[in-house]
Amino acid sequence: MPTFLKSDPIYENSNTGDPKSYAYQTARTRWPKIWSSAISTVQTTIDESKLSDQDDIASKIIISKLAALINALARNAPLEPIADDGSSDIEDYNKELLSFKNLTWLAAPWLFAECYIYRLVYTFFSTSSSFWQSHDIFYTEKCQSLVASHVATIELLKRFSQILESIRSGDRHLADEQTEEALFDEMVQIALWGNATDLTLLSSLSVDEVQSRQGKKARDASREHIVVNDTDKVWALLSALKNGKCPSTGVVHIVLDNSGFELLADLVVASYVLEKKFADMVVLHGKAMPWFVSDVNARDFAWLVGSFAEGTYYPDAGRHDKAVIQKTGTYWRDLLSSKKIEYRAHPFWTTQHSFGRMPELQPELFAELAGADLIIFKGDLNYRKLTYDGYWPKTTPFSKAMGPFAEMHGGKGVRTLVLRTCKADVCVGLRAEQEEKLEDGWTRYGKYGVISYWDAKRAD
Ligand SMILES: O=P(O)(O)OC[C@@]1(O)O[C@H](CO)[C@@H](O)[C@@H]1O
């Protein structure tokens, strides 16, 4: 296995040619479904829009490129260099592709090939006519999924509103350490299980199955499925930061994953962090382009906050529910305008690179993360990128699987917390013999979760 950087670990990774990997099934069934459905979405947009002749010709080209991609997957064709669309990330994609020599779709490292496929498809649009250039083929599906989740959404917003009230009223129960810790635990659970509902799973689970994972009942039932749980360590950190027992910069970052219900859960957690004064500012990192079907980009983010604040999110909601929705949307808008919450989309998050490459390839971004009190990574793809998507033995320490990203840098490294439901092959940090009790394929369908923490600022 060639390595792109000298610092990459020599490891066996999930590969689309390996029948024992989830990648095998993904490349043969999930990808063709995702891209066929993209063709239908483009067709619907054409039918619903009055396109100019130029845009109409461009639409046909986009559809033919998507069809050719589906055909290339079926034929196990080689991956071709990505066309230049003026963005600097393409160079590294093509450089790494060359380093593999004759990579074909059905025998490729999963992480590389999957990032490459989303970046490639984006160029079908970014190099097209003006109508299509900023088109997000997944946008409608993302909005619809949140509207379809209105029951769990309203339940979560009501709970959030209660929490805000108790924090603000200085509820004396909240002064008790155990109650405080229980509330933090609830926040972690909300953010973790919010990740169990992404749209790529719809190609293997039904809408009902995905929605049944939302809400408090589902969270409580899933507790026993958390295979690594470092919540207490993170609680110890936050308490130390707040009590001045640990130097603080007052900034927490959340590297987001999916839009819709998961983004809602992440906004709840960001607000909790601010209201409890664990931080003065929360930076949210989204994607700069449509990515892995349901990942958050600027438009999804603006739609969620805007449609809540304006009361257009769920027009059929009752008067009381509507008031809760609008109040929360307005509250988030205010946090954004006062810069207590900031949304950003660094191009690094849509490269193929594992985060262990960040210190060398994106030292400024790495320094910024290292300068914050805590970085919360959400979701499966971020976990795969933290751990090089490697076939590590499951008992490998989390810090070892992260490589240079986890290094101490003289006590100035990154404090990493990952909240991820397992939807791939990789999983580390288990205790010896823990895996024996888990069923075959347990790392795949979002049933199990990990709350893994590594503090690269510790003095020891
Ligand atoms: O990052 P997320 O949204 O938690 O999950 C990403 C995911 O759904 O997309 C890929 C699909 O092949 C897999 O890594 C994983 O199953």
Closest CA to 422 of 225, 237, 219: 225
Residues contacting ligand 1 via CB (< 6 Å): 26, 30, 114, 195, 198, 200-201, 257-258, 292, 379-381, 384, 423-424
Q: Which residue has the tokens 């109409």?
A: 56
pLDDT at 212: 63
CA of 381 to the centre of ligand 1 (A): 5
Q: What are phi and psi of 353, to 5 degrees?
A: -75, 135
- Measured N-to-C along each axis, helices 261-275 and 319-337 cross at an angle, to the nearest 10 degrees, of 60
The larger pLDDT score, comparing residue 232 to residue 219, is at 232
Range of lowest pLDDT (1-5, 84-88, 98-102, 278-282) = 1-5
Test site for ligand 1: of 14, 200, 205, 300, most ligand atoms within 8 A of the Cβ: 200
Whats the size of the chain, residue-wise?
A: 460
Mean confidence (pLDDT) of the chain: 93
How many separate helices (H) and strands (E) can be counted in the chain? Answer: 19, 7
Pairing of strands 449-455, 415-421: antiparallel
Closest residue to atom 11 of ligand 1, CA basis: 200
* Ligand 1 atom, smallest distance to 26 CA: 12
Q: d(Cα 257, Cα 268) in Å, to the nearest integer?
A: 15
Q: Which two three-digit tokens encode residue 153?
A: 């959404």
pTM metric for this prediction: 0.95
pLDDT at 159: 94
Closest residue to atom 14 of ligand 1, CA basis: 381
The larger pLDDT score, comparing residue 87 to residue 11, is at 87
Closest residue to atom 5 of ligand 1, CA basis: 380
Q: d(Cα 59, Cα 4) in Å, to the nearest integer?
A: 36
Q: d(Cα 142, Cα 259) in Å, to the nearest integer?
A: 7
Whether 172 has a pLDDT exceeding 80, the answer reads no
Range of lowest pLDDT (194-208, 221-235, 331-345, 354-368) = 194-208
CA of 243 to the centre of ligand 1 (A): 37
Domains of the chain: 22-137 (1.20.930.60), 144-458 (3.40.50.10880)
Confidence of residue 10 (pLDDT cuts 50, 70, 90): confident
Q: d(Cα 52, Cα 335) in Å, to the nearest integer?
A: 41
Whether 197 has a pLDDT exceeding 80, the answer reads no
Taking only the tens place, the pLDDT of each residue in 356-378 is 999 999 999 999 999 999 999 99
CA of 354 to the centre of ligand 1 (A): 15
* Ligand 1 atom, smallest distance to 23 CA: 12
Strands (E), 101-250: 226-229
CA of 323 to the centre of ligand 1 (A): 34
Prediction ipTM score: 0.94
Taking only the tens place, the pLDDT of each residue in 255-271 is 999 999 999 999 999 99
Taking only the tens place, the pLDDT of each residue in 305-360 is 999 999 999 989 999 999 999 999 999 999 999 999 999 999 999 999 999 999 99
Q: What are phi and psi of 271, to 5 degrees?
A: -65, -40
**CA dist 83 → 92, 122, 128, 264, 369 (Å):** 12, 10, 12, 35, 31
Confidence of residue 198 (pLDDT cuts 50, 70, 90): low
* Geometric angle at alpha carbon 449, from 444 and 455, rounded to 5°: 125
pLDDT at 196: 85
pLDDT at 210: 56
Taking only the tens place, the pLDDT of each residue in 118-146 is 999 999 999 999 999 999 999 999 999 99
Test site for ligand 1: of 141, 349, 381, 419, most ligand atoms within 8 A of the Cβ: 381
Closest CA to 195 of 27, 456, 457, 447: 447
Q: Which residue has the tokens 């999110």?
A: 313
Q: d(Cα 319, Cα 265) in Å, to the nearest integer?
A: 23
Confidence of residue 179 (pLDDT cuts 50, 70, 90): confident
Closest CA to 194 of 266, 277, 262: 262
